[in-house]
Amino acid sequence: MPKIDKKTKVVLKNTNVSIYKFENKNTYFCKFYVGKIHYKSGYKEVALETKNIKEAISKAKEINRKWFSENQGTTKKEQPDFDLEIAQPFLIHRIRKYKNKTNLKNNEQGERDKAKWENYLKPFFEECNYNDIEEMDNLINDEILGKLKDDGKSGNTINKYMSLLRQMFQRGRDRGIIKVIPDFPTQEVINVPRFPYENKELNLINQRCREEYSKTKDDYYFGCKDYYNLCRSAGFRPGLEPLSIRRKDFEFISSPKNPNEKKLKFTIWGTKTKPKHHPIANEYFAEKMFDEILNRFPNMSDDDYLILPNFKDRIKLKNKTSKTFVRFSKELNLFYYKGGTRPLYAIRHTYATELYKKGTSIEDIAELMNTSPRMVRTVYLGHTDEALINLHNRIPKLKVIS
């Protein structure tokens, strides 16, 4: 069976229609769910017979519309619930299994696994289709693995999270819910460090946002650009922290010594490490970009969200903007780098690296990023060229007698 070229895959907005090329084909195909009453897999797949992505999108939309128009008894598939259908039955089984053990060291393992799921993994699966193997591959190997690495989890700890997910998928397949288990990262991939983007590369992703808006006239893509630039501007953890900022959560501040030197300060509530954090945006963002964001939706109230205020479900928006970033990065051949990947969270590495290049101390970078100096050294800067050169320069020079 030919493999789908993941770099070409596009999912149409507000539909379950996927467009892609196979690795051995030059033209596009599309597929969408119509139910197992029609096809064994439940999916209708159609050859679009075009190499042009715009033409492929147009054809796929028309095919999808025509199908459901001609098959009135067919309803479009609702998004499956991974937590309800797979995770919770597995965890109930897991807890019962370990409670019946007499070994006191291990009989709480089921509860620990439940905590891993509830406190960390569950949000990744709230807007996903576990029947879409390509989506699951990307979710596990890009988003979840990237987040585990960026949170400073050791290789051993990452293996435990991946083992838990693998067993969930295995049991789902054994029960007939899932037909194929996704690929999971190898130990070699787990050990590859996260690398930052260059600013010029992030500018290319900004350009893709503008191009997508020009094609679709969808304000969502300008919102993506605003969000990615916001993440670049300060030490945010990409995700719910910056997306939860409301219009009342910023102010311009100055010191008595320099009252004309204004700094743009944000307030983030309930962060990972402390109840409140105050990121300071860089000057370029504050002077050149922030007014544009405010004026995007000029009639919003102070309690409305700063970024894409019309999207009320912030978890869904977090997942959607992350997928959009990855799609654009792949289209620009930026995503795969030095044996690893660079999802949206890599912007945080960019922020740390740029500060370090300018001579900012490790301690100050940690304070600005709301993390520890150890995390800055080992996770965000440990493998950058600048940090490695500085480390080498601190080694005492040996006198060599020839």
Residue 24 C-alpha from the chain's centroid: 29
Contact call for residues 223 and 296 (beta carbons, < 8 A): yes
Q: In this structure, are 63 and 156 located in the same domain?
A: no
Classify 55 as helix, strand or coil: helix
Counting every residue written for the chain, the total comes to 402
pLDDT-based confidence at 77, cuts 50/70/90? very low
8 A C-beta contact, residue 305 and residue 244: yes
CA distance 185 to 140: 8
> Do 295 and 379 fall into the same domain?
yes
Q: Residue 46: its pLDDT value, please?
A: 93
Shared domain for 266 and 341, answered yes or no, is yes
Region 289-296 average pLDDT: 94
What total number of domains does the chain contain?
A: 3
Same domain, 138 and 243: no
Residue 391: pLDDT band (50, 70, 90) is very low
| Confidence check: pLDDT of 211 > 80 | yes
Q: What pLDDT is attached to residue 309?
A: 95
pLDDT digits (tens, 9 = 90+) for 127-169: 678 888 878 888 898 789 888 887 888 889 999 999 999 999 9
Q: 145 and 19 in one domain?
A: no
Alpha carbon 369 to its chain's center: 18
Instruction: Please provide the DSSP assignment of 330-368 as one string.
Output: HHTT-SEETTEE--TTHHHHHHHHHHHHTT--HHHHHHH
pLDDT of residue 393: 52
- pLDDT tens per residue, range 220-232: 999 999 999 999 9
On the question of pLDDT at 383 being above 60, the answer is no
Better pLDDT: 204 or 391? 204
Q: Where are the strands (E) in 123-223, listed by range?
A: none
Most confident of 78-82, 177-181, 203-207, 258-262: 203-207
Would residue 391 count as lying in a domain? no
Question: Same domain for 162 and 46?
Answer: no
Statement to judge: residues 126 and 152 lie in one domain: yes
335 phi-psi bin (left φ>0, alpha ψ -120 to 50, beta other): alpha
Is 151 buried (19+), middle (13-18) or exposed (0-12) by CB count in 10 A? middle
- At 274 the three-state DSSP class reads coil
Determine the structural domain holding residue 355 and report its residue range: 199-386
Using one digit for the tens of pLDDT, what is the confidence trace for 300-338?
Answer: 999 999 999 999 888 889 889 998 999 999 999 999 888
Residue 74 confidence (pLDDT): 54
Task: Give the end of a domain, one of 191, 220, 246.
Answer: 191
Q: Is there a single domain that holds both residue 219 and residue 342?
A: yes
Q: Is residue 271 domain-shared with residue 342, that is, in the same domain? A: yes
Whether residue 66 is found in the same domain as residue 134: no
Q: Which residues contact 346 (CB under 8 A, 6 or more apart)?
A: 146, 194, 195, 196, 197
Q: Is residue 402 part of a domain?
A: no
Q: What is the CA radius of gyration of the chain?
A: 24
Q: Which of 70, 99, 128 is the last residue of a domain?
A: 70
